[in-house]
């Protein structure tokens, strides 16, 4: 049996990015995925690279900011290695608020006092403001499907082994140390294992890892006029994410529905109506698709990053709404930790054992 340096469980954008980073460090990596690579939460995501401090838990702000800064180079490298184009947009976000934010929260963002006559570079003639305040955020957005497709191809380009349709059942232990993974089909050996299984991270032993699925329903329209809305638009009720090919994504719900990924027609219609309240001209848009994804949530809303109580067993999961945003920095710091180096950014807020005795990772 071949012995790998690392087995990565879960081939969403977190697992794919980490596998690539570990391979850059000279490690022999195997990716195990229960379904098709990149086709769960990553595929269903909107792709807003939203790092606005006022919307972010304090503990996550440095991580989010660092990752957002990394994104252009992250995308460039994936495009270069995969040969695929990734739709990364830098037109910014128009954030509508119920009330004006505190001045200290604005940072270097631009306050928009009057929406009836926006600045020329923020020209958004089809928007109909219904909220009292707005900010222009210098944020990017990315198409997560482009991103995951490119990451899969980059793994193939690097000859990283990827085993699809292989569900992890157990992290194998030898004298209290992780030594491989048993799946529904076979077993694999490795010196280290890292759990990047998202909402499914707690479904195999040793556990528990306290992640749960939170369903998000979304829909996609074809805009009647390409670039009709250039900026991401984010409101308390709905967000709109334009793509460069003329699509418009509208989302998203946050539902405690277990592992149910079915869409509900009434919910999709409510999302569409909320979008029409902001951009009435979307009434002319053609419906393309609707779907639901399962975000991996933790009890405190923060990711789990770092080593577990079991030697050789690491965890990188629970990114909730921010998996796409946090992929570059997660890959970087986890690769540093797994190769015995000091992480370049503090991750002490995200230990695996912070949820109390009943949620600790132990070998018992």
Is 203 in contact with 18 (CB distance < 8 Å)?
no
Q: Is 312 left (phi over 0), alpha (psi -120 to 50) or beta?
A: left
- Boundary residue ending a domain (296, 313, 341): 296
- From the list 41, 49, 44, the residue with the least C-alpha distance to 11 is 41
Is 93 in contact with 232 (CB distance < 8 Å)?
yes
- Boundary residue ending a domain (281, 296, 311): 296
Q: Report helix, strand or coil for 301.
A: coil
Task: Kindly report the CATH number assigned to the domain that includes residue 245.
Answer: 3.30.9.10
Domain count, the chain: 2
Whether the pLDDT of residue 180 is over 80: the answer is: yes
Whether the pLDDT of residue 326 is over 50: the answer is: yes
- Per-residue pLDDT reduced to its tens digit, 36-69: 999 999 999 999 999 988 888 999 999 999 999 9
Which residue shows structure tokens 């390409």?
Answer: 226
pLDDT of residue 236: 87
pLDDT of residue 114: 38
**Model confidence band, residue 131 (pLDDT cutoffs 50, 70, 90):** low
Whether the pLDDT of residue 120 is over 70: the answer is: no
Which residue shows structure tokens 């695996």?
Answer: 352
Q: Is residue 332 part of a domain?
A: yes
Whether the pLDDT of residue 142 is over 60: the answer is: yes
Helix (H) or strand (E) holding 69: helix 61-82
Whether residues 238 and 333 fall in one domain: no
pLDDT of residue 108: 47
Whether the pLDDT of residue 356 is over 60: the answer is: yes
Other CB atoms within 10 Å distance of the CB of residue 356: 9
Determine the Cα–Cα distance for residues 286 and 38; give it in Å rounded to an integer. Answer: 27
**Model confidence band, residue 103 (pLDDT cutoffs 50, 70, 90):** low
pLDDT of residue 205: 83
State in Å, rounded, how far the first CA of the chain is from the last one: 27
Which residue shows structure tokens 């805009």?
Answer: 223
**Model confidence band, residue 289 (pLDDT cutoffs 50, 70, 90):** very high
Residues facing residue 219 across a β-bridge: 250, 290
Domain that includes residue 252, residue range: 93-138+213-296
């Amino acid at each position: 049996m071949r012995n790998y340096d690392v087995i990565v469980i879960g081939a969403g954008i977190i697992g794919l990015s980490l596998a690539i980073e570990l391979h850059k460090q000279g490690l022999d990596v195997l990716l195990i995925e229960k379904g098709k690579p990149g086709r769960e939460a990553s595929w269903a995501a909107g792709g807003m690279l939203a790092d606005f401090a006022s919307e972010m838990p304090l503990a996550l702000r440095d991580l989010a900011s660092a990752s957002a800064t990394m994104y252009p180079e992250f995308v460039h490298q994936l495009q270069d290695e995969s040969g695929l184009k990734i739709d990364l947009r830098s037109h910014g976000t128009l954030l509508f608020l119920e009330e004006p934010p505190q001045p200290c929260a604005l940072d270097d963002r631009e306050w928009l006092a009057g929406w009836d006559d926006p600045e020329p570079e923020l020209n958004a003639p089809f928007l109909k403001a219904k909220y009292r305040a707005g900010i222009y955020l210098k944020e990017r957005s990315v198409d997560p499907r482009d991103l995951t497709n490119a990451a899969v191809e980059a793994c193939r380009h690097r000859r990283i082994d990827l085993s699809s349709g292989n569900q992890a059942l157990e992290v194998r232990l030898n004298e209290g140390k992780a030594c491989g993974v048993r799946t529904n089909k076979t077993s694999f050996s490795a010196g280290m294992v890292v759990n990047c299984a998202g909402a499914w991270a707690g479904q195999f032993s040793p556990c528990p890892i306290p992640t749960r699925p939170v369903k998000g329903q979304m829909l996609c329209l074809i805009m009647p006029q390409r670039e009709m809305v250039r900026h991401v638009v984010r409101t308390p009720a709905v967000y709109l994410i334009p793509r460069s090919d003329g699509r418009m994504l509208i989302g998203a719900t946050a539902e405690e529905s277990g592992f149910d990924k079915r869409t509900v027609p009434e919910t999709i219609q409510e999302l569409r109506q909320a979008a029409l309240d902001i951009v009435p001209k979307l009434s002319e848009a053609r419906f393309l698709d609707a779907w639901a994804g399962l975000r991996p949530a933790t009890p405190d809303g923060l990711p789990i990053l770092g080593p577990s109580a079991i030697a050789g067993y690491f965890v990188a999961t629970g990114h909730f709404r921010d998996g796409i945003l946090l992929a570059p920095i997660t890959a970087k710091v986890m690769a540093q930790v797994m190769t015995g180096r000091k992480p370049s950014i503090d991750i002490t807020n995200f230990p695996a054992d912070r949820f109390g005795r009943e949620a600790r990772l132990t070998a018992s």
